[in-house]
Structure 1
Amino acid sequence: MSASESSSVGRRTFVLGAAAAAGSAALAGPLAPAASAAGFGWSDDGSHYVVDTGANLVFKVSKTNGDLTSLVYKGTEYQGYGGKNSHVESGLGTSTVTIAQSGSTILISVAYGTLKHYYAARSGENNVYLWTNKADTSVSATRYIVRVKAGLFLNDEPDSYTYTTSTIEASDVFAKSDGQTRSKHYSKLRVIDYDYIGWTTGSVGLWIVRSNHEKASGGPFYRSLLRHQSADGGGLYEILYYGENQTEDQRFGLQGPYVIAFTDGGAPSSSLYPANLTTSWADSLGISGYVGAGGRGRVAGVGIAGRNTAYPYTVGLANSGAQYWGTARSSDGYFSVGGVLPGAYTLTVYKGELAVYSTQVTVSAGSTTTLNTITISSSNDPSNASAIWRIGDWNGTPSGFKNADLMTYAHPSDIRAASWTGNVVIGSGSETSAFPAYLWKDVNSGLLVYFKLTAAQAAAAHTLRIGVTTAYANGRPQITVNDTWTSAIPSPPTQPSTRSLTVGSYRGNNYTFTYSIPASAWLTDTSQYNVLKINVVSGSGTTGYLSAGTAVDAIDLLA
């Protein structure tokens, strides 16, 4: 699904992504062993259930609260730092914890009020399968965190703060002495971009393979923290619901399985990836909210017409109870989204991350809902409008703008960022790369765009459009043309209320501001530059990079 990313510090490396090269290193064990491995089974030491997978993995679960208290692979303990265990959220408290074996599967069940959590082991595998069923808001369960001892895996990547303690924002964004920034928020990746996260030393790999996120929120392009490293140790996350820069309400129900997987240094087996994983062995285990393959359906489309083939297209399904997505084939737009719970869904087609088509579909268990060719009308893609000039392109992201790529893994103050100020000249050839991805009231408000018009163009009124992808503290653009005409202050669109631009996320709600500029605002001398000033306005926010701001998708002046 995406290329891997890798880096090294000394001899230790980490790998993060969907299809990391494993070389000749061994992958995780098979999902359906022919027979139980020697040593497979469980015991009770009085305080914990102890599970031996019969491979190289032994783990313990507290009988008191369901914490994962030990994770021993090939004789080395990996679990825990700072006196903390691996668990749902920050620990559940006193729970009812039970264990049962069914053939080659051992299931530990944890009940805490309305929340149910499960650990499963399969004979001969170095994997732990986890499910979490959050039924309502009575329990604050938004994540599972695997806490890993310090020193076993080291890195100095964007989501690490091993080598710095200087805080520059809140208590979770740090600056190194060389000016680079680090934070657990800086994962770079959207959900659609990765299948697993973790680290490898070259001889041992520890990973979380994500679930299909059907009960998560935010859609395929959502970003949240995935892991962290500090002097205390490391953390790997499966985010069940993350409220930062969130565009959807929380969903409830069973999420999983997600998998803690050990390998001999390589990537986890692709058979564990959410698009490939089959769990018929779990059908009869009695997991609350579990729906097997036979109780699910599929949506398939013959193709998508009217695409701009320079961009990937994604098809998403969503309702209040579940979300799914799939990639449209580049040649013809064919798509297939499987494993869908029965129900009525909104189907949305995205060009890049910009919604350009929507319809309703109904999914039934055991069947495929087939759609004829979907046609994206020219009016649904704003790129099709004739423009006198355009900065960027309409794809739902700030891609191509100054500092856009860096902002998914660094703070705006990072030394690697180009200056956020500076004006733009239409016709220079660098319009997009010179225009900042983000605009803030306290940083670069008042940015100027210079452009010329022909006599015919200057004789007519025109519409200016500014597309944004999110906003912080109700930041929105107000424009002035040639210091003679100023637009009204637009109303703020609905956007997340939390931090976004400073924690690696531009993904909010795409919105287009339109401004009707009268002919009287233009200069009549065609040799002179017209000047567009873009200010960020808001009554909210604080100062600097936490002042009101917005992320830009595209700007154009229509013909």
Structure 2
Amino acid sequence: MSGSVNRPVRRRTFVLGTAAAAGSAALAGPLAQSASAAAFGYSDDGSNYVVDTGASLVFKVSKTNGDLTSLVYRGVEYQGYGGMNSHIESGLGTSTVSIRQSGSTILISVAYGTIRHYYAARSGENNIYLWTNKADTSVSATRYIVRVKKGLFLNDEPDSYTYTNSTIEASDVFAKSDGQTRSKHYSKRRVMDYDYVGWSAGGVGLWMVRSNHEKASGGPFYRSLLRHQSADGGGLYEILYYGQNQTEDQRFGLQGPYVIAFTDGGAPSSSLFPGTLTTSWADSLGIPGYVGASGRGRVAGVGITGRNTAHAYTVGIANSAAQYWGSARASDGYFSIGGVLPGTYTLTVFKGELAVHTTSVSVTAGGTTTLNSIAIASTNDPSNASAIWRINDWNGTPGGFKNADLMTYAHPSDVRAAAWTGNVVIGSGSETSAFPCYLWKDVNSGLLVYFKLTAAQAAAAHTLRIGVTTAYANGRPQVAVNNWTSAIPSPPTQPNTRSLTNGSYRGNNHTFTYSVPASAWLTDTGQYNVLKINVVSGSGSTSYLSAGTSIDAIDLLS
């Protein structure tokens, strides 16, 4: 059976998948491949190593630079657009490329400077397993891109665009004629929210199943481009270090496997997902830096007390060499994180995306480190502080504020965005939904919040807190209350790249505190006090690229 190149392409939306969503589609994976008369093995066509998986997939890897030069599934070529191949980084130079077969596995090794990259094929599977070992900063980013021929998977998702769209920012953010915006950056998802990304059309699914990201940077809440589609073709990404919105240094060492998977149109098998995938077949391949299951350990916690059950909690462990995470059970906070390299890690409990507890934990090969119930101190959660009023709850995200959900898949100028201006009245019932998730120096600086105080409240000094999740160009809030004005706060450490306009609010959570003296308040309890929030910075450009910041919560403490 071939891939029917004459069949009309059906428009289908892409999928960012989870294990739960794909459970019913498990048989679309390696256990249910199409029959093929071809034998498993490889050959040399002079320029490429040609691998036949013995199922429905034949692929080629350049002997010169390690590029994936051909990706044929059911007789249809999927690889390539614009004369470019699929490859690690932006393509490597002249490399040392070798191939060998070990039983039912074929391994291609690529060496370029201090980078090592590997492709593996398994007999009877329509999958390509990939590892990347980056030893230093000689290559800036760490990504693999699968370039896909045009016309095979057309759609109109947030991360797609056409040449009829107008460019509105940095040659990678576009506006359609109807005012909606598109960009390869608009993935909607954090790393922890997806297991695979790709397309399905015409009875064929092409997917990138991510690795466990143990050597990536940014943690479970990191957002980056995952996929794009344009008039000249599409791209699927495994992003390990991209340099945008990074909150920590990059990690080095062997990362993988991540998997290029073809199916009969369904989701990839859940057996390929991070946390589920087992690769005992790779234990004997001799890949430098590879650590099998027996060389890894586990961290488990019996529970977490002091949680606010209205929020999801995540537990992460990280050091300079590796990172891992897992969800805490809603009922009691139990968690288990497996497949961990031996070492000592900082363990962090997150309420939403806000760190509320940290400790140290050590992991040994083959062992399970069991932690007694973790108690979150009341003072570690800013929501526990008594407040006269509070806008939004503290959870490390701008969720709930005006336009917050849209901003993970659209530009702030998008026609679907509500007005970024507008003032807020405490007690109106719409304080959070009326407050914009982002503030910019050149767009909506000077936002006003109206509130009343009792006589007793007005007779005392109070602390005002503004929590932020990231900032662009050192944008930070300076406040004024009636006739009193705060000092300009120092900027916290934040990523130095675009964020608010390319689908990410993720930076370093920071709380600004302002000691407002009693003399600042109005003594007439029937009048509204006026809080003015300005964005200040000596950096930035104009409009949505002026200095800005993303808001988590604002409150006036008792």
Q: What letter matches 2:554 in structure 1?
A: I
Q: Which aligned segments of 4 or more residues in structure 1 are displaced greater than 2 angstroms?
A: 9-14, 19-26, 162-165
Work out whether 1:338 is the aligned partner of 2:352.
no
TM value normalised by structure 2: 0.96
Alignment partner, residue 504 of structure 1: 503
In the TM superposition, what is the alpha-carbon distance from 1:162 to its structure 2 partner?
2.7
Q: Is the 2:22–2:268 Cα contact (8 Å) retained in structure 1?
A: no
C-alpha distance in 1 between matches for 2:367 and 2:497:
40
Q: Matches of residues 276-425 of structure 1 in structure 2 within 5 Å?
A: 276-425=276-425
Alignment partner, residue 156 of structure 1: 156
Alignment partner, residue 30 of structure 1: 31
Q: What letter matches 1:342 in structure 2?
A: P
Q: Is the 2:477–2:534 Cα contact (8 Å) retained in structure 1?
A: yes
In the TM superposition, what is the alpha-carbon distance from 1:24 to its structure 2 partner?
6.9
Q: What letter matches 2:501 in structure 1?
A: T
Render the CA deviation track for 1:61-120: whole Å, top value 9, x for unaligned: 011110000000000000000000000111111111111101100000011111100000
C-alpha distance in 2 between matches for 1:488 and 1:109:
58
Q: Matches of residues 42-121 of structure 1 in structure 2 within 5 Å?
A: 42-121=42-121
Alignment partner, residue 517 of structure 1: 516
Instruction: Provide the secondary structure at the position in 1 that maps to 2:241.
Output: coil
Q: What letter matches 1:230 in structure 2?
A: S
Q: Is the 1:26–1:265 Cα contact (8 Å) retained in structure 2?
A: no
Instruction: Provide the secondary structure at the position in 1 that maps to 2:420.
Output: coil
TM value normalised by structure 1: 0.96
Instruction: Provide the secondary structure at the position in 2 that maps to 1:307.
Output: coil
Render the CA deviation track for 1:291-324: whole Å, top value 9, x for unaligned: 0011111111010000001111000011011000
Alignment partner, residue 544 of structure 2: 545
Alignment partner, residue 531 of structure 1: 530
Q: Matches of residues 463-482 of structure 1 in structure 2 within 5 Å?
A: 463-482=463-482
Alpha-carbon RMSD: 1.5
In the TM superposition, what is the alpha-carbon distance from 1:139 to its structure 2 partner?
2.7
C-alpha distance in 2 between matches for 1:136 and 1:23:
41
Q: Is the 1:318–1:345 Cα contact (8 Å) retained in structure 2?
A: yes
Render the CA deviation track for 1:206-254: whole Å, top value 9, x for unaligned: 0000000000000000000001011110000001211111101010000
In the TM superposition, what is the alpha-carbon distance from 1:341 to its structure 2 partner?
0.5
Q: Is the 2:14–2:157 Cα contact (8 Å) retained in structure 1?
A: no
Alignment partner, residue 492 of structure 1: 491
Q: Is the 2:141–2:243 Cα contact (8 Å) retained in structure 1?
A: no
C-alpha distance in 1 between matches for 2:350 and 2:11:
41
Render the CA deviation track for 1:402-422: whole Å, top value 9, x for unaligned: 000000000000000000000
Q: What letter matches 2:233 in structure 1?
A: G
In the TM superposition, what is the alpha-carbon distance from 1:25 to its structure 2 partner?
9.0
Instruction: Provide the secondary structure at the position in 1 that maps to 2:449.
Output: strand
C-alpha distance in 2 between matches for 1:276 and 1:40:
26
Q: Is the 1:12–1:202 Cα contact (8 Å) retained in structure 2?
A: no
C-alpha distance in 2 between matches for 1:558 and 1:23:
50
Work out whether 1:182 is the aligned partner of 2:194.
no
Q: Is the 2:80–2:148 Cα contact (8 Å) retained in structure 1?
A: yes
Instruction: Provide the secondary structure at the position in 2 that maps to 1:457.
Output: helix
C-alpha distance in 2 between matches for 1:163 and 1:269:
35
- CA change 1:360–1:24 in 2 (3 A) is closer
Alignment partner, residue 556 of structure 2: 557
Alignment partner, residue 3 of structure 1: none
Q: Is the 2:315–2:347 Cα contact (8 Å) retained in structure 1?
A: yes
Alignment partner, residue 437 of structure 2: 437
Q: What letter matches 1:362 in structure 2?
A: S
- CA change 1:454–1:140 in 2 (3 A) is closer
Structure 2 spans left out of the alignment, 5+ residues: 1-8
Instruction: Provide the secondary structure at the position in 2 that maps to 1:325.
Output: strand
Q: What letter matches 1:276 in structure 2?
A: T
Render the CA deviation track for 1:353-393: whole Å, top value 9, x for unaligned: 00000001111111011110000011000000010100011
- CA change 1:306–1:23 in 2 (3 A) is closer
C-alpha distance in 1 between matches for 2:202 and 2:145:
23
Instruction: Provide the secondary structure at the position in 2 that maps to 1:394.
Output: coil
C-alpha distance in 2 between matches for 1:549 and 1:61:
45
In the TM superposition, what is the alpha-carbon distance from 1:142 to its structure 2 partner?
1.6
Q: Is the 2:26–2:268 Cα contact (8 Å) retained in structure 1?
A: no
Q: Is the 2:26–2:270 Cα contact (8 Å) retained in structure 1?
A: no
C-alpha distance in 2 between matches for 1:101 and 1:47:
19
Q: What letter matches 2:332 in structure 1?
A: D
Q: What letter matches 2:552 in structure 1?
A: D
In the TM superposition, what is the alpha-carbon distance from 1:26 to its structure 2 partner?
5.0
C-alpha distance in 1 between matches for 2:462 and 2:25:
61
Number of residue equivalences:
547
Alignment partner, residue 133 of structure 1: 133
Structure 1 spans left out of the alignment, 5+ residues: 1-8
C-alpha distance in 2 between matches for 1:332 and 1:234:
43
Instruction: Provide the secondary structure at the position in 2 that maps to 1:240.
Output: strand
Q: Is the 2:10–2:202 Cα contact (8 Å) retained in structure 1?
A: no
